[in-house]
Structure 1
Amino acid sequence: MLAPITPGRQGNVRHNLSGVLAYDSFRPANMDSFFPINLSADSMRLVSDCRAILGEVEGMSRFVPNIDMYLSMYVRKEALLSSQIEGTQCTFDDVLDPSNESNASRDLTDVVNYTRAVQQATKLMEELPLCMRLLKSVHATLLGNGRGSDKTPGQFRTTQNWVGPNGCTLNEAPYVPPNTEDMKEALGDLELFINERDDIDPVIKAALVHYQFETTHPFLDGNGRLGRLLILLSLIHDGALTKPVIYPSYELKRHRSEYYDWLMRVRQRGDFEGWVSFFSTCLLASAREARDSMRKLVDLHSETERLIREKAGRATTNALMLLDLLEGNPIVDTAFVSERMQISRSSANNLISQFTDWGILVQRDTSRKRYRTFSYEPYLAILRTGDEPL
């Protein structure tokens, strides 16, 4: 049954229907009623530190060579980590392996869809405000042909849903989101809050927006993944970032149980101060990891470029082109390199052999004589951090 909720600034309980059909759902409060949020000095320092690191990563992204390549890796990493929170079992290597494209598993499809959803959302935000219309369009891409594709992608639910262990019924669920009438009201209020409250620190605002979206649970499936994507979109919307240069799900995945507990604690007790502190701690750690990874990637690029210029001789131009290709596609085979660089297969094979001799590429399965794939291991070692399934 719905966990005990003390009515307060977070909302209250709504009694629905009667008789054997009766059930309780949560009714979220208007978001303006969340305030004031009285953060401790320690929590304010967390928020301030978070903004500083976000600014640092944002600044680095403006001067880093090949930043678009790195961003594509960061988007894929966020897609993987967020999907893993929902139970996806693939790894970063699975996402990047070109041989998987024609034989995608459901888990891999979820990650690919999430990647496309991030790209679509950031593009749509150039034309649209961060509104429910945009989120519905992104949700349709997110569910696509993967997990939840039979749950009306791109459409808000028209029936009651609930959150709980597999197999639990509505009356057994520990959390029952708002009924459809209250859901519509909460979504309208959320849209106004996102677009009209520009007096709130972007980190605090992202924490509240994420909480309220997850609490409203407006779709039949995909709420968690879209809600975590909304963290990035909220930060971009409010100017804390201009690009998706961090992966917020990095720490939320590592503290998944605590993450879910905090969302529920706010619903039950209205502890927004505790939630903002937890959220800021996670976002700060995620932003630091993204910053440190970017520094390592930049240093690796410089070292590898220097090695190529020392070793490649007349093949330097093609070798540098291959390095660029690897920074967007760190797992390759001869056919892929030949096609993308528009060179013969023998030239591609020679380049790959040179990169292998120099320690840049590593053959992934040394027992194979045909259909061999190679990985840019020093690069992947940086990006794999935290990619193991739960």
Structure 2
Amino acid sequence: MGRSGTMVTNLSGELAYNSFRPAPLPPNPPITLDDTSLKLLLQATRHIQELNAVAQYVPDAKLFASLYVRKEALISSQIEGTQCTLDDLLDPDVDRNTDLDVEEAVASVRALWHGLELLETMPLCNRFLRDVHEVLLSSTRGSERNPGEFRRSQNWIGAAGCTLKNARYVPPNLDDMNEALASLERYLNETPEIDALVSAALIHYQFETIHPFLDGNGRIGRMLIQFYLISQGVLASPMLSVSYFLKRNQVEYYDRMSDVRQKGTYEQWVRFFLEALDAAAVDGIATAEALSQVHEENRALLPPPRRAQDATHRVFDHLGAHPIISINRTAEELGLSYNTVANAVKKLMGLGILRETTNAARNRVFAYESYLAVLRPGSELVD
């Protein structure tokens, strides 16, 4: 067996095909990091620690985290071809949207939140992965592809219309898949002998290589990065959008993993992955600080509250997690009357904080544009 695994011949005659049997983690011989990778490791570690501090001390940290979860889930879905924007995902009527791409992005958000909640009571294990996968696919166009179950048939990756014979990559057959999943589960729960960031790189590669589901492997694999780093106590908050870097470097992302399978070049993959983590942490710090600054600058524009539960201040605070709102939905969520919210929105528009994005007399939508301008970069659709 090679360093990363070996090809296995399945069936015989005209039905014969080759699949990949991955070697268990950690690699043998062990990972060795050159000076460039060690520098990246130290840099990424420092920036993640800074991000943890920002997540702890920035005002309304939970609101920022909730927006980051949505942005990360969205960009991860875009990597798989989902045509949905951040504005689509933040639309107040998103739960009534019938667009399948938007529905798929919403399902990714639900799955990521579900996994973060599961971490409080369940270790990372195969059952954990199946539970998150079930939430990801149950209500979308992948619902017929065995949500919450590992595959029971051979899958493959390649251009549309390709077969097992000419696929770009054929993951492990069922026996090898089950053996690899059991080995990965053990590795997930061992105390890593190497730095947790390097382990995260190996785990993401290994999961994508095993490809245990009929659909959703890429999205689950990228969620696993945050789940693992949080479980190891390295990441304090889900404010790490690794998918932003991976989307911008998508060709290299796939090529680096393919090179590991073909050549055993774990070190080059780890270096690329550390670049992704470092870029994500730097972006997270800058975005959280910019969002906080924008929010506080706008808060300073508000007149002093007339009472403890001033409606204009309550609607403004609501914008931190809901930067696109409708009057009806906001009234429901805050337990206020329609007219009360309408008056608050009118005041916020007069202050230049909100801008109407529709011209309809009913179901009007209002955007917190200065806030969205900080959030949108990286989530735009690429032509």
What's the TM-score, normalizing by structure 2? 0.96
- Deviation >3 Å, runs of 4+: 312-316
Residue matched to 1:357: 350
> Are 2:249 and 1:255 aligned?
yes
| 1:113 alignment partner AA | A
Q: How far does the alpha carbon of each residue in 1:263-311 deviate from its partner, in whole angstroms, 9 at most, with x for none?
A: 101100010110000111112111111110000111122212211146x
Looking at structure 1, the residues matched to 300 and 134 of structure 2 have their Cα atoms a distance apart, in angstroms, of 45
2:142 to 141, 148, 156: 148
Looking at structure 1, the residues matched to 308 and 342 of structure 2 have their Cα atoms a distance apart, in angstroms, of 13
Looking at structure 1, the residues matched to 150 and 136 of structure 2 have their Cα atoms a distance apart, in angstroms, of 14
Residue matched to 2:317: 324
Residue matched to 1:236: 230
| 2:11 alignment partner AA | L
Q: Is the 8 A contact 2:5 2:23 kept in 1?
A: yes
> Are 2:56 and 1:55 aligned?
no
Residue matched to 2:163: 169
2:72 to 53, 78, 82: 78
Which deviates more, 229-238 or 60-69? 60-69
Structure 2 gap ranges (5+): none
Pairwise CA distance, 1:336: 1.7
Looking at structure 1, the residues matched to 309 and 23 of structure 2 have their Cα atoms a distance apart, in angstroms, of 62
Q: Is the 8 A contact 1:113 1:143 kept in 2?
A: yes
Q: Is the 8 A contact 2:115 2:132 kept in 1?
A: yes
Residue matched to 2:329: 336
Q: Is the 8 A contact 1:211 1:263 kept in 2?
A: yes
Pairwise CA distance, 1:198: 2.4
Looking at structure 1, the residues matched to 29 and 381 of structure 2 have their Cα atoms a distance apart, in angstroms, of 37
- CA 1:102/1:300 → structure 2, altered by over 3 Å: closer, same or farther? same
2:291 to 297, 305, 308: 297
Looking at structure 2, the residues matched to 285 and 32 of structure 1 have their Cα atoms a distance apart, in angstroms, of 25
Q: Is the 8 A contact 1:266 1:272 kept in 2?
A: yes
Looking at structure 1, the residues matched to 293 and 27 of structure 2 have their Cα atoms a distance apart, in angstroms, of 48
Higher helix share: 1
Looking at structure 2, the residues matched to 42 and 131 of structure 1 have their Cα atoms a distance apart, in angstroms, of 33
Looking at structure 2, the residues matched to 104 and 168 of structure 1 have their Cα atoms a distance apart, in angstroms, of 31
Looking at structure 1, the residues matched to 121 and 242 of structure 2 have their Cα atoms a distance apart, in angstroms, of 24
Looking at structure 2, the residues matched to 282 and 117 of structure 1 have their Cα atoms a distance apart, in angstroms, of 22
Paired residues for 1:173-192 under 5 Å: 173-192=167-186
SS at match of 2:270: helix
Instruction: Report percent identity of matched pairs.
Output: 45
Looking at structure 1, the residues matched to 88 and 233 of structure 2 have their Cα atoms a distance apart, in angstroms, of 33
SS at match of 1:171: coil
Looking at structure 2, the residues matched to 219 and 334 of structure 1 have their Cα atoms a distance apart, in angstroms, of 41
Residue matched to 1:3: none
> Are 2:368 and 1:376 aligned?
yes
Looking at structure 2, the residues matched to 139 and 370 of structure 1 have their Cα atoms a distance apart, in angstroms, of 38
Q: How far does the alpha carbon of each residue in 1:189-226 deviate from its partner, in whole angstroms, 9 at most, with x for none?
A: 11111111422211111100000000000011110000
Looking at structure 2, the residues matched to 286 and 33 of structure 1 have their Cα atoms a distance apart, in angstroms, of 26
Residue matched to 2:377: 385
Q: How far does the alpha carbon of each residue in 1:102-147 deviate from its partner, in whole angstroms, 9 at most, with x for none?
A: 1231111111111111111111111111101100111001112213
Q: Is the 8 A contact 1:50 1:280 kept in 2?
A: yes
Q: How far does the alpha carbon of each residue in 1:208-264 deviate from its partner, in whole angstroms, 9 at most, with x for none?
A: 000000000001111000000011111111111132121110100111111111110
Paired residues for 1:37-52 under 5 Å: 37-52=31-46
Q: Is the 8 A contact 1:309 1:316 kept in 2?
A: no
SS at match of 2:143: coil
Looking at structure 2, the residues matched to 382 and 143 of structure 1 have their Cα atoms a distance apart, in angstroms, of 30
Q: Is the 8 A contact 1:80 1:91 kept in 2?
A: yes
Looking at structure 1, the residues matched to 362 and 306 of structure 2 have their Cα atoms a distance apart, in angstroms, of 28
Pairwise CA distance, 1:316: 8.0
Pairwise CA distance, 1:70: 1.0
| 1:363 alignment partner AA | E
Q: Is the 8 A contact 1:308 1:316 kept in 2?
A: no
Pairwise CA distance, 1:78: 0.6
